[in-house]
Amino acid sequence: MLATVFLPIALGIIMLGLGLSLKIEDFTRVLTYPKAVIIGLLCQMLLLPFVCFAVAVGFGLPAELAVGLMLLAASPGGATANLYSHLSNGNVALNITLTAVNSVLAIFTLPIIVNISLGYFMADNDTVVPLQFKKIIEVFAIILLPVVLGMFINAKSASFAKKAEKPFKIASAVFLIIIIVAAVLKDKEKIVDYFQQVGLAALVFNLASMAVGYFIPILLRVGKKEAIAIGMEIGIHNGTLAIYIALNVLKNDAMSFPPAVYSLIMFFTAAAFGWWVSRKTNSNKL
């Protein structure tokens, strides 16, 4: 029921909410922030999987949990990053652009990263079927169609889209929490073991993600607001998508647990990170 009915509906609603906040300009805005967008995409799509791999190997995660964490690393940023970026004085327009571009590019990068992870961590498991590109296209069709619908509504009635955006964001957070709880309860007999095995690794990966997203742009002389936006974008992943693929495509309950744990952690760490960078920004103005 969770994987076949509720998850697709929840994912569709979350992506429809994202679409309501998007315009065509959000894709063409790459030309406005070329340096920031390129750095953000390189951090998320190239550097982050290596960081995640190092965490998975360093913590000696069991194969299925390691793949689950890598699946999360391969997933695009979540729409919640826009809200956290706004509260932290980040460049929300850059966030929206990165989320939009990432969601499209992930169609190609996600299956590659996940299949490499499956090959490395689960080489001895003959029952594991590689992530088929055809299947991932089907998954992203489920995701991108609601986004396109949301963008169409925004284009036709911007005022309605603006009013609907906040309720959809709240609904997205509620759905994510329900999905996490349901995914955890689905394998409740192993909850304690899984959490002990992956909880600290998920926390370290989350902190490392935000650090990479914030400090590398700063070192490369990107503006402070843009660095905050990239930090939030890279630290907050689309956990719902990762859980959906683990349960519906890979048919593996254990792989859904790292994204569920990470998604719970990121709400608190993102808030702390946002407080720290906004406080730092305000102190620089004094």
Residue 284 lies inside a defined structural domain of this protein: no
**Per-residue DSSP letter, 216:** H
Instruction: Answer yes or no: are the C-beta atoms of 238 and 218 closer than 8 Å.
Output: no
What is the distance between the alpha carbons of residues 141 and 145, in angstroms, rounded to a whole number? Answer: 6
The model's pTM: 0.79
Local confidence band at 285 (pLDDT 50, 70, 90 cut-offs): very low
The whole-number average pLDDT for the span 97-110 is 83
Helices (H), 157-285: 158-186, 191-219, 224-235, 239-244, 257-285
Both tokens of 42, joined, read 């390189």
**At 283, is the pLDDT very low, low, confident or very high (cuts 50, 70, 90)?**
very low
Amino acid at 273: F
21 within some domain: yes
Number of DSSP helices (H) and strands (E) in the chain, helices first: 13, 0
Residue 59 placed within a domain: yes
**Residue pLDDT, tens place only, 203-248:** 999 999 999 999 999 999 988 889 998 999 899 888 888 888 888 8
Q: Quick check: is 187 in a domain?
A: yes
Mean pLDDT of 132-137: 70
Asked, for residue 117, whether it belongs to a domain, the answer is yes
Domain range for 72 = 2-279
**Residue given tokens 């299947």 in the structure block:** 135
Q: Is 237 helix (H, G, I), strand (E, B) or coil?
A: strand
Position 286 scores a pLDDT of 36
Work out how many domains the chain is built from and give that number.
Answer: 1
User: Which sign does the torsion angle of CA 27, 77, 45, 253 carry?
Assistant: negative
Which pLDDT tens digit goes with each residue over 51-101? 999 999 999 999 999 999 999 999 887 767 877 887 788 887 788 788 878
- Torsional sign, CA 189, 194, 196, 199: negative
pLDDT band at 253; cut points 50, 70, 90 = confident
pLDDT of res. 280? 59
Query: Is 239 part of a structural domain of the chain?
Result: yes
Q: What is the CATH number of the domain that holds 58?
A: 1.20.1530.20
Quick check: is 193 in a domain?
A: yes
Residue 105 falls inside a structural domain:
yes
What is d(CA 219, CA 3) in angstroms, rounded to the nearest whole number?
42
Tokens of 192: 């304690």
Provide the pLDDT for residue 39.
93
